[in-house]
Amino acid sequence: MMMRFMALPILALAACVPSPDIGNMPEQKALAENKVSAENLAKWRKDNPSWYAAVDPFQVVGEQGTGIYYVGTEGLGMFFIPTADGHIVIDGGMPDQASMVADAITKLGYDPKDIKILLNSHAHLDHSGGLAELKAMSGAQMMASEGDRSALEGGFYLGSEEEDFLFAPPVKVDRIIADGETISHGGVTMTAHLHPGHSRGCTSWSMDVVQGGKTYDVLVFCSATVAANRLVNPPQYEGIVDDYRSTFDKTRDLKPDVFLANHPGFFGMAKKREKQKAGDALAFVDDQAFGKFITTIEGWFKDGLRKQTEGAAP
């Protein structure tokens, strides 16, 4: 009785909504609203204290005022690339961490309002969460892959769209970047490498950095762990297993001089930072580090796929 009573006004309302007229559709759809709750953020913070543990921002590699700087936390990697024409930031951390990133940039002597380009490793809330606020404070252009666009603009985790624990503040993508595409800004060139699997549009970014007269290629890797992803029954998104495999095929033989990632544990940041503080100016240069990491996580992927496949069998 109650149900029927309640349903009536909704039906009446639905009948009043005109069917969409494609010819009159606005060019840009309005962004989804931000549905991140304080309760969910408190739970994330409680379960992942390292994500919120402060790290003094520092230069990873490069001559003073150039190259790449660390502006993340103990558990989440965010990166700052200064240029004479305004700056580039990779990742925004959790939904409530934009101000932490901004403070780190200020501490380095730059103005976060001068961020011109925002990049994202992948559209999961621990890396994309702060982007909307960073964009609002700076007016920067958000650049991302087509594969991650819907999740960034919708503020959800692709394939788990109803899971409110995984919501992020929606952020409009201003420019879509493709595999191998470069972004040149203020004398810096960033190259996008699509490494899908962990997310459909997972994007690693590379750049050349000069220090002491030598050039080092730096890779900020997107990730290729299974983490919360369903590989089967039903997959997180269509083609996810093939995507992981192609990403391992593409990355297995890469030997970047400097391997960085959005979780500092991936590249052993704490230890390298200690070496750097102790006077080793090239503490982050190690062209064997990435290969070892990929071998490890490819093993994790194979285990994960076997377990999920077995778990799914009747």
Where do contacts with Zn ion occur on this chain (CB under 5 A)? 124
Closest approach of Zn ion to the CB of residue 67, in Å: 26
Helix (H) or strand (E) run with residue 15 in it: helix 2-16
DSSP 264: G
- How would you class 186 by CB atoms within 10 Å of its CB: exposed for 0-12, middle for 13-18, buried for 19 or more? middle
**Residue 135 or 263 having the CB closest to Zn ion:** 263
User: What is the smallest separation between the CB atom of 12 and Zn ion, expressed in angstroms?
Assistant: 43
Task: Judge contact between 225 and 275, C-beta under 8 A.
Answer: no
Residue with smaller CB distance to Zn ion, 144 or 285: 144
Q: Is 174 helix (H, G, I), strand (E, B) or coil?
A: coil
When the beta carbons of 59 and 204 are compared against Zn ion, the nearer one is 204
Q: Which is nearer to Zn ion, 87 or 124 (CB)?
A: 124
Token pair, residue 8, equals 């009536």
Residue 148 to residue 154: CA distance in whole angstroms:
10
CB of 147 vs Zn ion, minimal distance in Å: 13
Q: Quote the least distance from Cβ 248 to Zn ion, whole Å.
A: 17
Least CB distance to Zn ion at residue 255 (A): 24
The answer to whether residues 68 and 38 touch, using CB atoms and an 8 Å cutoff, is no
Of residues 98 and 166, the one with the C-beta less far from Zn ion: 166
CA gyration radius, the chain: 21
- Cβ atoms of residues 179 and 57 within 8 Å: no
> Which residue's CB comes closest to Zn ion?
124
